[in-house]
Structure 1
Amino acid sequence: MNSRTSVAAATSLGVCGVLALGGAATANAAEDDQAMVSVFHAVPGLTVDVYANGDELIPDFEPGTLTEPQSLPAGSYDLEVFQAGADPQGEPALQKTVEVPAGANATVVAHLDADGEPELNAFVNDTSKVAAGDSRLTVRHVAAAPAVDVRAGGQPVFKGLENPKEDTTEVAAGTVAADVVLAGTDDIAIGPADLDLKEGTTNIVYAWGSAEDDSLALKTQTLSGMDSAPSGVNAGFAGGANDADAWPAYAAGVGLLALAGVLGARRLAARHRG
């Protein structure tokens, strides 16, 4: 982990937008020792250069930018963030050592705390399976703002969420209108925005920016591959736009078949007794 990678080499490998280490250790790392890592720049009004373990990896990183996840060796990363073009030998605007566990899917976020001071945090993304027909929704509060409630379709889904905490739930897949309000009120701080929650995905919504500077915004990160097989009862039922209307009839048919089976068994038993 002490090897250093030049900016040119990092660019040629297409890893300028992520944390990475060069050298033979990376090339020979076992798949089980890898992690998937993304980086989100959520500090408004400041373009930065990001360094990891001494290497410049994300030059001219603009606010609101979220990198694609990349496979990296698990381990410890010393992160430093400088204002774009600043001397990397000087004092960084942000600095933190982040542990990336093997097998994890993680997002490193540079953001403002509740008081408007910049900080770095790493979040591990939940990529476990979700039930058939469902989608996972996670909200992370990384904005310079007080506690908030997050609503979907006008109804609170997460209440009293504080910076830099997160909350998660599983919901039926579909499109929902989401907004963020000050906790315990109907005062909209962000949104509304339509979220397309596809089946078998994890959808991470970041509330970021600054309330004081009127720069609050939402950023969504979507991870796929969390599909589950349909349950045994539903496996042969053809889905469609009218599922909600068709389901009672389908369930009734199953019930009639079961009742017919019971009556048939009773008749057979009666014959044997006779």
Structure 2
Amino acid sequence: MRTTTYAAGALSLAAVLAFAAPAQAGGWHHHGDDPAQLSVLHGVPGLTVDVWVDGTLTLDDFTPGSLAGPLELAAGDYEIAITAPDAASADNPVIGPVTVDLEEGGNYTAVAHLDADGAPTATLFTNDTKAPRNNNKGKLTVRHVAAAPAVDVLAGGEPVIEGLRNPDEATLKLKAGTISASVAAAGTTAPLIGPADVTVEGGKNTIVYAWGSLADGTLAAAVQVVDLNQGRGRH
């Protein structure tokens, strides 16, 4: 299984410079009293793209499996379009344009991915950042953004999430620790992705994306880690 792991808010300096600098140059990086945070995940196999926000090139030559952000944005509506690489403008998108509404203080991930039938699409997820009362617990969120039928998520060989469909998500509250997780077609146990060890950290939401295409043999997992905020946050 191919697994890519990212920590939202803790990207390497090189990644931050690569993705944040074009955003600042294009006017997409705004500061407010409580700005929204937006990350972008590219989950369309075999397609390098450019990402445009409100007509401004924001992410250039964005490759499959890559995650950008989080970027701080003023609350409001933004139009996101995804084009072929080196497009002169956002006028001929391969995905979108879609309008996203970002609330003040919200934490979001926009995902370019395949729908269940294999057509390119985009989904905006609101990341759950509300901390459990027990500081020793964290959250595990699984998002189905792959061209595949409904799936079950197994932990230790037993289903813990059942019948998850594209583009839905499910969240579990778990004790901090490492679990052996896999993704199987709904009602079965033969892994389509995994098994792989997934670390759930106290005070964090570990978000696992199942992306790619079952028919094309490109299923993979990407992992994003978002901090949970005691006493504030959205869920």
**TM-score for the superposition, normalised by structure 1:** 0.73
Distance across 2 between alignment mates of 1:12 and 1:67 = 10
The runs of 5 or more residues in structure 2 that have no matched partner are: 1-15
- The answer to whether the 8 A contact 1:148-1:180 is kept is yes
The letter for the 2-side match of 1:22 is G
Which structure has the highest helix share of the two? Answer: 1
**How has the CA–CA distance of structure 1 residues 117 and 200 changed in structure 2, closer, same or farther, with 3 Å as cutoff?**
same
Q: Does the Cα contact within 8 Å between 2:42 and 2:62 map onto a contact in 1?
A: yes
Partner AA of 2:137 in structure 1: D
Mapped pair 1:115 → 2:120: no
The aligned length equals 214
Q: What SS does the aligned partner of 1:114 have?
A: coil
Higher RCO (CA < 8 A, seq sep 6+): 2
Secondary structure, aligned partner of 1:107: strand
Aligned residue number for residue 265 of structure 1: none
Could you give the per-residue CA deviations for residues 81-125 of structure 1, whole angstroms, max 9, x where no partner exists?
A: 111123325421011111111110000000000000011110000
Identify, as 1 or 2, the structure richer in strand: 2
Question: Cα distance, 1:157 vs. partner?
Answer: 1.2
Q: Deviations over 1:108-155 (max 9, x none)?
A: 000000000011110000100112211101000000000000011111
Q: 1:208 to 1:54 in 2, by over 3 A?
A: same
Which residue number corresponds to residue 161 of structure 2?
158
- Matched to 2:87, the amino acid is A
By how many angstroms is 1:67 displaced?
A: 1.4
Write the letter of the residue equivalent to 1:103.
Answer: G
Partner of 2:82 in structure 1?
81
Deviations 1:39-84 (A, max 9, x none): 0000000000000001000000000001131211111111111111
SS in structure 2 opposite 1:15? helix
Q: Closer, same or farther in 2 for the Cα pair 1:175/1:202, shift >3 Å?
A: same
Which ranges in structure 1 are unaligned for 5 or more consecutive residues? 1-10, 229-274
Report runs of 4+ in structure 1 exceeding 3 Å deviation: 11-14, 16-21, 225-228
Partner of 1:64 in structure 2?
A: 65
Partner of 1:52: 53
- Between the aligned partners of 1:155 and 1:181, the Cα distance in structure 2 is 11
Amino acid of the structure 1 residue aligned with 2:104: A
- The percent identity for this pair of structures is 45
Q: Answer yes or no: is the 8 Å Cα contact 1:18–1:38 preserved in 2.
A: no
Task: Name the CA shift for 1:227/1:14 in 2 (closer, same or farther; >3 Å).
Answer: same
Letter aligned with residue 121 of structure 2: E
Aligned-residue offset at 1:176: 0.7
Query: Aligned pair in 2 of structure 1 residues 194, 17: CA closer, same or farther (>3 Å)?
Result: farther
Contact 2:131 2:138 in 1 (8 A): no
TM-score (norm 2): 0.84
Secondary structure, aligned partner of 1:185: coil
Mapped contact 2:144–2:168 kept (Cα < 8 A): yes
Give the number of the structure whose alpha-carbon radius of gyration is greater. Answer: 1
Partners of 2:212 and 2:159 lie apart in 1 by 21
**2:32 aligned residue:** 30
RMSD: 2.3
Q: Which residue of 2 aligns with 1:127?
A: 129
In structure 2, what is the Cα distance between the partners aligned to 1:64 and 1:119?
Answer: 15
